[in-house]
Structure 1
Amino acid sequence: MSGHSKFSNIKAKKEKNDAAKGKIFTVIGHELALAVKQGGADPASNSKLRDVIAKAKANNMPNDTINNGIKKAAGSLESVNFEELQYEGYGVNGVAIIVKALTDNKNRSAADVRSAFAKGRGSLGTQGSVSFLFDEKGQIILDKEAMEDLDKDFDSLMELALEAGAEDIREEEDSYEILTSPEDFSSVREELEKQGIPMAEADIVMIPQNYVSVTEEEAVKNLRRTLDLLEESDDVQNVYTNWEEE
């Protein structure tokens, strides 16, 4: 959620306590249910479901849990009423925030989001009020350490990614970041999977075009309060911000 290493943020999330892991599994469970409802329970013919399964595995969700979630969703399609929502607004000091939610109760999710912005001295805006400051991209993060046994240096990895349809690949200290268009995300991810490339994270995300620096202590405290409250909501899938954390 900052302009620094995306992989560091991913590791920090995954290393949180069991309650945080439970939240991640709940979010992915909802995504599995929606993917099944939209495209069926067979991953072979449902690319969205394949993407969610890959995301589940990257987050160490057990195979039994994944399969049970798919079976449950397939057996109760009428009860799957999840809806994808997007909220936009500003935190203190003009920091832009986008909230992606997946919910079966719009009133509950709206109340959670509104409360998080208010308690952090921010303001919830209208649709489109901040999304123009972000680009929607497919993002695949590769852990360098997990790739040590593979015969892939940066140049060979770049060639593989670009041939698969990626737009760009960037090297960071501990990871590689592969960017795609949203439309090409599934095909690029699947090609990397076929090549045995381990992925720490793979998802369609909102990437800020520019970052905002906030250093004043009270402002930082309020921003963290807003973001922490948003992350605690079971309806919130992802939170994106253009805050350049120090």
Structure 2
Amino acid sequence: MAGHSKWSKIKRQKAVTDQARGKLFSKLGREIAVAAREGGGDPDFNPRLRTAIDNAKSQRMPADNIDRAVRRGTGDLPGASFEEVTHEGYAPGGAALYLECLTDNPRRTLAELRHLLDKRGGNLGQSGSVAWMFERKGQILVSADECDEDAALDAALEAGAENFESEDGTYVVTTTAPDFHDVLGSLRDAGLPVEEAELAMVPSNTVKLAGRDAEKVLAVLHALDEHDDVLKVNTNVDLEEAEGAG
């Protein structure tokens, strides 16, 4: 689990330039639009949309952008129709990759991801080749700078969390997929400073890499995250050794 939340933290630290933030807003907008299309435009009755909007707000996405994304999803505004697809594969060093994508051209996305990985020493695999290494979990990141650890732990346990860890200035609260929205709501009601919350594919075990192997993997993760169609990059690599690389 540590590797997954570490990658989330690295991505947040990277999205500081206007260009990077614009790309992030575009991906958040796609997720909002798809959530609105699938479950309706009212976040009070659409948990996926509520989570997508909350994450967009946590990344300081303007309210007008969020509203337009919802309206594109409900069909009130014109826009491309995106399809959800997943791809599985490996980065250098045997690190597993589970990629969640939103694309208006699945064939193009497949070709581009295959080329991206081949060029960097990785490869795409068949469907199911790495999915068995991951489980859908809720992950809620809480700022440790604004909250006492004992208070955060007590609130997480009271809310029904499955696991609680402290990592580099962040508390990582893990839930089962069915309990995710209830736990998230309880933590927010308790006043905890939630930085990010998502349903993600969390690895059951991690692969530790160091040195040049860690640098290669982090370069692949960054390249995948830069791809317009890749919404989430899930990996089982332990990024402790790779944090300063790339």
Please give the range of the TM-score, normalised by the shorter of the 2 chains. 0.7 to 0.9
Aligned to 2:228: 234
Aligned to 1:199: 194
Aligned to 2:161: 166
Moved more, 38-47 or 154-163: 154-163
In 2, Cα distance between equivalents of 1:54 and 1:128: 31
Q: Tell me the SS of whatever aligns to 2:33.
A: helix
1:55 correspondence with 2:55: yes
Indicate the structure whose relative CO is greater, using CA pairs within 8 Å and at least 6 residues apart.
1
* Cα displacement (A) at 1:73: 2.7
In 2, Cα distance between equivalents of 1:98 and 1:187: 26
Moved more, 163-172 or 96-105: 163-172
Aligned to 1:210: 205
Letter in 1 for 2:67: N
Check 1:224–1:157 CA distance in 2 against 1; reply closer, same or farther (3 A cut).
closer
Q: Tell me the SS of whatever aligns to 1:200.
A: strand
1:178 correspondence with 2:173: yes
* Cα displacement (A) at 1:121: 1.6
Alignment RMSD (CA, Å): 2.3
Q: Where does structure 2 lack aligned partners over 5 or more consecutive residues?
A: 242-246
Check 1:78–1:165 CA distance in 2 against 1; reply closer, same or farther (3 A cut).
farther
In 1, Cα distance between equivalents of 2:135 and 2:14: 23
* Cα displacement (A) at 1:158: 2.2
Moved more, 126-135 or 67-76: 67-76
Letter in 1 for 2:137: K
Q: Tell me the SS of whatever aligns to 1:183.
A: coil
Percent identity of the aligned residues?
38
Q: 5 Å matches for 1:87-236?
A: 87-145=87-145, 147-148=146-147, 153-215=148-210, 217=212, 219-236=213-230
Letter in 2 for 1:205: A
TM-score by structure 1 length? 0.87
Is the CA contact (8 Å cut-off) linking 2:209 and 2:238 kept in structure 1? yes
In 2, Cα distance between equivalents of 1:142 and 1:155: 13
Letter in 2 for 1:200: E
Aligned to 1:43: 43
In 2, Cα distance between equivalents of 1:178 and 1:214: 25
